């Protein structure tokens, strides 16, 4: 089952991220996908602020993975857009069981390497208005289904 959520502002997307953060657990994996400039990094920033990460979240496009350890739980922020093929070199699977939270932008580009249990959020721009985003949220696994039921 998927949930459709309309975000009408950057603030709406941040609120959603903060609600999901409130249901966090170790080894949580959140996979973000969808249009360029649709809010994946904004979502990550909202999540990180709720987690009380002190460092500024910057897009990890060139580093692929950034680790933030100042929050209530470690946050591993990945952006695999420019990865082209070297997935194995990253040791990405290690992050899924390190006890923190992994958020992956452009996760559909590494579909074969994602854990079976995860929360997927697909962002789509809308023709309706510049600040509207259509989000399709799909939980895979009981823990993620419970989160969706609790907050959506
Ligand atoms: N409803 C909304 N939700 C999120 N961001 C919005 C919304 N409306 C407008 N915006 C704007 O859209 C932009 C989203 O940028 P962001 O960097 O988060 O996109 P992205 O999906 O990470 O892009 P990329 O694919 O390049 O990594 C921001 O400038 C933000 O202010
Ligand atoms: Mg981004």
Kindly report the CATH class assigned to 3-151: alpha beta
Q: Where are the domains of the chain?
A: 3-151
Interval 10-40: pLDDT, tens: 999 999 999 999 999 999 999 999 999 999 9
Measured from CB, residues less than 6 Å from any atom of ligand 1 are: 7, 9-10, 12-13, 36-42, 59, 105, 123, 131, 133
Q: List the residue whose alpha carbon is closest to atom 29 of ligand 1.
A: 37
Going along 35-144, which residue ranges are E strands?
65-68, 75-79, 101-105, 118-125, 133-140
Cα of 62 from ligand 2 centre, angstroms: 12
Interval 70-128: pLDDT, tens: 999 999 999 999 887 678 888 899 999 999 999 999 999 999 999 999 999 999 999 98
Low-confidence winner among 46-50, 86-90, 131-135 (lowest mean pLDDT): 86-90
How far separated are the first and last CA of the chain, in Å rounded? 12
Cα of 81 from ligand 2 centre, angstroms: 9
Q: Residue 61: its pLDDT value, please?
A: 66
Residue 102: alpha-carbon gap to chain centroid: 7
DSSP H or E stretch at residue 90: helix 87-90
């Amino acid at each position: 089952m998927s949930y459709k959520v309309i975000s009408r502002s950057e603030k709406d997307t941040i609120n959603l991220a903060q609600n999901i953060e409130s249901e966090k657990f170790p080894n949580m994996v959140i996979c973000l996908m969808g249009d360029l400039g649709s809010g994946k990094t904004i979502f990550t920033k909202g999540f990180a602020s709720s987690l009380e990460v002190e460092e500024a979240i910057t897009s990890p496009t060139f580093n692929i993975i950034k680790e933030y350890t100042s929050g209530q739980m470690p946050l591993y922020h990945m952006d695999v857009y420019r990865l082209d093929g070297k997935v194995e070199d990253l040791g990405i699977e290690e992050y899924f069981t390190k006890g923190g939270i992994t958020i992956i932008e452009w996760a559909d580009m590494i579909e074969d390497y994602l854990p079976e249990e995860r929360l997927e959020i697909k962002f789509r721009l809308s023709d309706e208005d510049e600040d509207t985003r259509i989000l399709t949220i799909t939980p895979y696994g009981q823990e993620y289904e419970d989160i969706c039921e609790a907050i959506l």
